[in-house]
Amino acid sequence: MKKRIIGLDILRDIGVIFIFFYHFFVEYIVTAGGTDGAMYGYNYFFNILARPASLFLFVISGYALMYNHEDEMPIGKYFKRRFKGLFIPFYVAYTLMFIISFLVNNEVVGHDLPIKLFVYTILGVDGVAQLTGANFYLIGEWFMTCIVVCYVLFPLLAKLLKKFKYITLGVLMVWYVFLLYIYNPFPITQLMNPAFIIVYFYLGMFLQNLLGENKINSKIRVACAIISVLIFIYFCMIGFIPSLEWMKMKQVQTEIIYFILSMTMLIALRDVEIPSDKIVYTIITYISGISWYVILLHHRIMILFYSHLSVENYNHRDIFALLLACIFITWALSIFVREASNRVKKLI
């Protein structure tokens, strides 16, 4: 049995926690129209790691597939395994939130749209497709679309990795720079575009193939940890100290900094070791184990809350109570979806 890499679990936990809190505060502003200045500050703080978190979640996905030798599986077995792990939870969570949304909003999602558009949801790509036109999108957002594309391309990328490891990396980096700095032909920015995300995914595959079971040099890990902290401090300073706003960069340059942060965090944390009998190990692996279900569900739950609550008179205690409600309901529904998905997997 392959040894569990607890460092990747820590990264996954950091990712889902920051994304969860970022969405809670951004929906307070966007959906509910809240004006409490403190909430804007919280929103900015959690957004510092929300973007790099989403990036290193893709890096982790590529790393994990190579670590588990899924590149060596027969193609049919690989896609069956990915379908069971990705689409069954998505379908179960979608069905659950479809029913809840109908009961709350008194109308079905996409009630006036052509039913043929539901094919985007069946394929799991409605999150990005809805950025260019209405469809039956409900959960999963752009993250689901991008991970579907990554998983579909994985067998091809794995072959290229084995035969042309550095050439493929070079081509993808040129592609990345071209799209980022020269011309992006797609009607989607780099923030949610699978054409960009595939580069992060391949980097995870590349790192696992390059490093294997070898430990990363401790000096390199310390250096990466220091860089990660310094980047985090930089974003805090430009966000909370008005006199330093001149240090802010444009979106393209910021994306590069986020990319660097995601990679340094991965290198700094990959070889962390925690005894499996420690309570902190149990907590880390538990959160990691339900992270996919949380990612699927949490944002829609928050939107449902904020679209039906009036928050203009909320004080900080009221907002904290709502946060606790979102945490509890997301956790409870995540457990339900996980158990229901496991039952469906056994049936097929």
Does residue 58 contact residue 150 with C-beta atoms inside 8 Å?
yes
> How would residue 182 be classed by pLDDT, with cut points 50, 70 and 90?
confident
The amino acid occupying position 45 is F
> How would residue 185 be classed by pLDDT, with cut points 50, 70 and 90?
confident
Q: Where are the domains of the chain?
A: 6-347
Distances in whole angstroms, Cα of residue 204 to Cα of each of 32, 156, 219: 37, 15, 21
Does residue 181 contact residue 252 with C-beta atoms inside 8 Å?
yes
pLDDT single digits (tens) 110-145: 999 999 999 999 999 999 999 888 999 999 989 999
Distances in whole angstroms, Cα of residue 148 to Cα of each of 153, 230, 265: 9, 33, 24
Quote the pLDDT of residue 184.
84
Of 85-94, 210-219, 319-328, which gets the smallest average pLDDT?
A: 210-219
The amino acid occupying position 315 is N
CB atoms closer than 10 angstroms to residue 143: 20
Name the residue with tokens 């805090």. Answer: 236
pLDDT single digits (tens) 295-320: 999 999 999 999 999 998 899 999 99
Per-residue pLDDT averaged across 14-43, rounded? 93
pLDDT single digits (tens) 209-262: 998 888 999 999 999 999 999 999 999 999 899 898 888 888 888 888 998 999
* pLDDT higher at 239 or 348: 239
